[in-house]
């Protein structure tokens, strides 16, 4: 729109500061974002934002080890590995997981699949049949968004109904 002298007036609501060149400092991003990014990298490298741990129990020629995150963030996917090493064949290997450990977690995959799965006495129990020597169970889980603080529970190794070894696993969940 012309004002008579050949100059065009900006539209209503647009001031001169909206279209004039800005000073050198305002053209660049704030260094604060780079500092925050650097702090997150340092925290990640130190393990503060998450780290894995091995819990191990041995008894009567059997070793039960659990590998999982000790500190994890809300909403993350993670893997838990339960390894059994025995100096003899286990006739009916079963692994029990306290329900409190997996409360507010979603189990996505269990490899290998159990021949029998039950939930009784506050424990999920997975039976795998006869296993000679060494066995590994891989579980893929996700932390549900509503959990904060963490969970703790016992993972128990059985041969049939006889308890062989158990280990207490604790996981801290950060927001």
pLDDT value for 23 = 61
pLDDT value for 47 = 67
Cis status, amide bond into 112, omega within 30 of 0 = yes
What mean pLDDT comes out for the span 123-132? 93
- Which residues, in sequence order, are CB contacts of 65 under 8 Å at separation 6+? 54, 55, 56, 57, 82, 83, 85, 167
Q: Which position has the higher pLDDT, 51 or 92?
A: 92
pLDDT value for 175 = 79
CB atoms within 10 A of CB 104: 14
Cα 163 from Cα 33, distance rounded (Å): 54
- Chain segment 68-95, per-residue pLDDT in tens: 999 888 889 999 999 999 999 899 999 9
Domains identified in the chain and CATH numbers? 51-174 (2.60.40.3670)
pTM attached to this predicted model: 0.72
What mean pLDDT comes out for the span 147-160? 91
Q: How confident is the model at residue 105 (pLDDT cuts 50, 70, 90)?
A: very high
């Amino acid at each position: 729109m012309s004002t008579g002298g050949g100059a065009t007036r900006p539209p209503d609501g647009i001031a001169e500061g909206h279209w004039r060149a800005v000073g050198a400092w305002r053209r660049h991003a704030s260094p604060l974002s780079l500092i925050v990014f650097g702090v997150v990298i340092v925290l990640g490298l130190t393990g503060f934002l998450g780290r894995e741990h091995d819990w191990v129990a041995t008894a009567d020629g059997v070793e039960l080890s659990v590998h999982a995150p000790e500190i994890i963030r809300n909403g993350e996917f993670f893997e838990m590995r339960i390894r059994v090493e025995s100096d003899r064949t286990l006739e009916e290997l079963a692994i029990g997981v306290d329900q409190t450990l997996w409360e507010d977690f979603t189990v996505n995959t269990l490899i290998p699949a159990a021949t029998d799965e039950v939930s009784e006495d506050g424990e999920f129990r997975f039976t795998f049949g006869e296993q000679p020597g060494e066995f590994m169970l891989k579980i893929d889980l996700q932390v549900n968004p509503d959990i904060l603080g963490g969970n703790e529970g016992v993972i128990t190794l059985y041969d049939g109904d006889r308890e062989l070894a158990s280990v207490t696993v604790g996981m801290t969940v950060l927001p």
